[in-house]
Amino acid sequence: MAEPVSSIRNLGPAMDEACAKAGIPSAEALREMGADEAYKRLLLSGIRPHFIGYYVLHMGLQGRPWNDCKGEEKKALRVRFDALKAEVAARSDAVPTGIERFLDQIGVGQKR
């Protein structure tokens, strides 16, 4: 049986659910694709971008505590996070989040 995503350090049941929605079925699949690809899939599935969640995922996959991310490492991850957000925002298959999601649901959101 596959290990749940929540078996990875720093990740809990909410991440199990988010990853399942994004097509990431297990800890093994998450480890194989890496943090950047996994976070991109999470964003594409509609998860709200959050820098702390991004670096927590990185730290967890390295077996490190979430609050171990500091200094230059944290700055470099912020640059990668911002680039991922921009890449996903530019895609037409991205699920809208926040108010954009609501507006899309009632039919007044993004142009069709």
Nearest to 8 by CA among 63, 77, 65: 63
User: Per the domain annotation, does 10 fall within a domain?
Assistant: yes
Percent of the chain whose pLDDT exceeds 90: 73
Q: How confident is the model at residue 93 (pLDDT cuts 50, 70, 90)?
A: low
Measured between alpha carbons, how far is residue 102 from residues 16, 38, 97, 107 in Å?
24, 25, 8, 9
Q: 35 lies in a domain?
A: yes
Binned at pLDDT 50, 70 and 90, residue 9 comes out as very high
pLDDT tens figures, 45-67: 989 899 999 999 999 999 999 99
Structural domain span for residue 97: 5-105
| pLDDT at residue 112 in the model | 45
- CATH of residue 18's domain is 1.10.150.20
Closest CA to 31 of 73, 65, 60, 68: 60
Residue 110 placed within a domain: no
To the nearest whole percent, how much of the chain has pLDDT over 70? Answer: 81
- The answer to whether 88 touches 94, Cβ cutoff 8 Å, is yes
- 0.85 surpassed by pTM: no
Structural domains counted in the chain: 1
CA-angle at 20, arms to 6 and 36, nearest 5°: 75
pLDDT of 1: 81
